[in-house]
Chains A and B, each alone.
Chain A
Amino acid sequence: ETGVTQSPTHLIKTRGQQVTLRCSSQSGHNTVSWYQQALGQGPQFIFQYYREEENGRGNFPPRFSGLQFPNYSSELNVNALELDDSALYLCASSFRTSGEETQYFGPGTRLLVL
Chain B
Amino acid sequence: KQEVTQIPAALSVPEGENLVLNCSFTDSAIYNLQWFRQDPGKGLTSLLLIQSSQREQTSGRLNASLDKSSGRSTLYIAASQPGDSATYLCAADNAGNMLTFGGGTRLMVKP
- With A42-B104, A100-B51 given, is the CB distance from A107 to B96 under 8 Å? no
Contact indicator per residue, chain B 90-105, by CB within 8 Å of chain A (1) or not (0): 0101011111111110
Among the listed B31, B32, B41, B103, which residue makes an inter-chain contact with A41, where contact means beta carbons less than 8 Å apart? B103
Report yes or no: A44 in contact with B31, Cβ–Cβ below 8 A: no
Among A42, A105, A108, A110, max chain B CB count under 10 A is at: A42
Q: Are A100 and B31 interface neighbours, CB within 8 A?
A: yes
Query: Contacts A2-B43, A107-B42: A56 and B102 contacting too (C-beta < 8 A)?
Result: no
Main secondary structure of the interface of B (DSSP, over half): strand
Which of the residues A90, A92, A96, A102 comes within 8 Å of B96, measured between beta carbons? A96
Measured CA separation A56–B99 after assembly (Å): 11
Q: With the chains together, A108 CA to B39 CA distance in Å?
A: 12
Residues on A with C-beta less than 8 A from B41 are 110
Contact partners of B31 in chain A: CB under 8 A: 99-100
Q: A42-B4, A42-B102, A99-B31 are in contact. Are A48 and B45 (CB under 8 A)?
A: no
Bound together, the chains give a CA A56 to CA B98 distance in angstroms of 8
- Provide the bound-state CA to CA distance between A45 and B43, in Å: 14
Interface residues in A28-73 (C-beta closer than 8 Å to B): 31, 33, 35, 40-45, 48, 55-56, 58
CA distance A55 to B96 in the complex (A): 10
Q: Is the CB of A108 within 8 A of B43?
A: yes
- Whether A105 contacts B103 in the complex (CB less than 8 A), given A33-B97, A99-B96, comes out as no
Chain A residues whose C-beta falls within 8 Å of the C-beta of B100 in the assembled complex? 45
Interface residues in chain A, defined as those with a beta carbon under 8 Å from any beta carbon in chain B: 2, 4, 31, 33, 35, 40-45, 48, 55-56, 58, 90, 92, 94, 96, 99-108, 110
What would 6 A/B residue contacts be, using CB atoms closer than 8 Å?
Answer: A33-B98, A42-B89, A43-B44, A58-B98, A100-B31, A102-B34
